[in-house]
């Protein structure tokens, strides 16, 4: 199982939102690039970056994301306001299409076909319903349906975030993620709720291909090195 240490960027700073609430923000670092370099030094093979401002169409941190990608020798996976392939041209390793995937699956399919292995589909949900535009808009689309849409069958992965668990460290939705793994051939990357090394092992055991971890690392519940060992054991 691959580990994706996470950096969420808002106003140029590394932050975390509690359950996706923009009014419940914790600032962890004024220098996201330094934070990413620390993840790389610790042995991470990927870094996951989210542009929270772009996700809400309230500005962009694109310059920071591109600079961060160029500062590392490991690939960056990025989401938040992704609407085309331009970030791939600027050196980002993989993009995560979220809102655009739900609103225009045909266009997303064309990106997936044009950039094999470099386009993931982000499915952020609350109680099984996909949310878009920075988790603020209800789509009416159910997670269990979206993972079976033919347009996404060749995506690099499904990045599945349970919004209610995000940044809570209360444990991931093991059962729901296991169901997703069983219902699609596309690799599943889990996001939301990880608070312990046991959580990582449980995700690994249900067949999750990758896991995004943010707050648990920032709050020193475990180190990147310890998380990598749990993912690989």
Question: pLDDT grade, residue 124 (50/70/90)?
Answer: very high
Number of domains the chain contains: 1
**Catalytic (active site) residue 173:** no
**Catalytic (active site) residue 8:** yes
pLDDT of 217 over the 90 cut: yes
**To 10 degrees, the CA torsion angle through 191, 201, 45, 88?**
-30
Burial of residue 11 (CB within 10 Å: 0-12, 13-18, 19+) is middle
Q: What is the pLDDT of the chain when averaged over all its residues?
A: 96
Distance CA 192, CA 112 (A): 25
**To 10 degrees, the CA torsion angle through 162, 163, 165, 166?**
110
Among the options 51, 124, 166, 173, which is catalytic? 124
38-97 confidence digits (pLDDT tens): 999 999 999 999 999 999 888 999 999 999 999 999 999 999 999 999 999 999 999 999
pTM listed for this prediction: 0.95
In CATH, what number is assigned to the domain containing residue 64? 3.20.20.70
Residue ranges making up the domain that contains 184: 2-232
């Amino acid at each position: 199982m691959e580990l994706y240490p996470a950096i969420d960027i808002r106003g140029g700073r590394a932050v975390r939102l509690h359950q996706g609430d923009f009014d419940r923000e914790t600032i962890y670092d004024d220098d996201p690039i330094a934070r990413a370099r620390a993840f790389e030094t610790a042995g991470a093979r990927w870094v996951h970056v989210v542009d929270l401002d772009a996700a809400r169409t309230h500005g962009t941190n694109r310059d920071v994301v591109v600079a961060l990608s160029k500062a590392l020798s490991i690939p960056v996976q990025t989401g938040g306001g992704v609407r085309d392939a331009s970030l791939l041209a600027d050196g980002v390793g993989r993009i995560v299409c979220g809102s655009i995937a739900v609103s225009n699956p045909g266009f997303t399919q064309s990106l997936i076909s044009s950039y094999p292995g470099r386009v993931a589909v982000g499915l952020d949900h609350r109680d099984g319903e996909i949310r878009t535009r920075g988790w603020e808009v209800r789509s009416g689309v159910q997670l269990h349906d979206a993972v079976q849409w033919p347009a996404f069958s060749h995506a690099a992965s499904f990045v599945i975030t349970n919004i209610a668990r995000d940044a809570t460290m209360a444990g991931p939705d093991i059962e729901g993620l296991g169901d997703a793994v069983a219902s699609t051939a596309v690799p599943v990357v889990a996001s939301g709720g990880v608070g312990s090394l046991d959580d990582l092992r449980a995700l690994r055991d249900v067949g999750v291909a990758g896991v995004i971890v943010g707050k648990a690392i920032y709050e020193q519940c475990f180190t990147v090195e310890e998380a990598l060992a749990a993912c690989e054991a």
